[in-house]
Structure 1
Amino acid sequence: MEEQKGVLIHVMLAKFKDGTPPDLIDQLIKGFANLVNLTEPMKSFRWGTDLSIENLDQGFTHVFESTFESAEGLTGYIAHPAHVEYANLILPNLEKFVVIDYKPTIVRI
C-alpha cells in the first residue's frame, strides 16, 4: 500500500434539520462549492446525497468532500474567513454532522 504524499481528503456527512427549505439547502450547497474559488488551499469539491439501499446512513443525507494538497492547506482553509463565515451559515441548519479527514492510500496488488 502506498500513501498519497501530501493529499488530504476532508469529508463531511450531514443531515439538515427537518423543515429546512429545499431552496435554502441548494443555496448552502452552492456556497460550499464556491469555497473552492474563495480559499486557495481547497483544490476540489464534490457532494452528493445518500442513495444506499442498506439503511445504514444513521440519518445522514448529504456528503461533502474537499481535497487539499496538505494538512497545512486544510488548516489554512479551516481558519480562512470565507470558511468561517460559511460555517456560521450552514451549521445552524444541520441537525447533525461528522467530519473525517484522511490521506488516501492506494492499494497495489
Structure 2
Amino acid sequence: MIRHILLIKFNDQASAEKIDEVRSLFEAAPEQVEGVEAVEWGVNDSPEGLNQGYTHSVLMTFADEQGRQNYLPHPAHEALKAVFVPLVDDIIVFDYPA
C-alpha cells in the first residue's frame, strides 16, 4: 500500500466552484483507475497556525506500486491536472509505503 499526500496552496484564480471541481475529479479516481483504493479530501482547520498557507490536502491510497504507476499517466489524472495545475500556487507531494 502506498499513501500519496498533497498539501495545496491555491492561487487567486481558484474560485470555490473550481476547487469543488478539483475535489470531484480527485474523488472520482478510485472508480476510474485500477489500483487507486481511496481518496480523502481535507481543508485545514488547525488552530495552531502552522500550515504556512497550505489550505487543502488530498490523501490517496494506492494498492501497491502498480496502482501508483497506473495513476500517474492515466487519462483521468491528465484531465485532473488540466483543471488543477492552473489553480495551484504551491504544492507539496509526499509518498510513502504504508
Whole-Å Cα distance in 2 between the matches of residues 85 and 21 of structure 1? 18
5 Å-filtered alignment, 1:25-40, equals 25-40=19-34
Greater gyration radius: 1
Corresponding residue number in structure 2 for 1:107: none
Name the TM-score, length of structure 2 as normaliser: 0.93
Task: Report % sequence identity.
Answer: 31
Whole-Å Cα distance in 2 between the matches of residues 45 and 16 of structure 1? 19
* TM-aligned CA deviation for residue 19 of structure 1: 4.4
Name the TM-score, length of structure 1 as normaliser: 0.84
Q: CA RMSD in A?
A: 1.1
5 Å-filtered alignment, 1:33-48, equals 33-48=27-42
Moved over 3 A (4+): none
What runs of 5+ residues in structure 2 fail to find an aligned partner?
Answer: none
Q: Which string of whole-angstrom CA distances, capped at 9 and with x for unpartnered residues, describes residues 21-47 of structure 1?
A: 111111111111111111111111101
Corresponding residue number in structure 2 for 1:97: 91
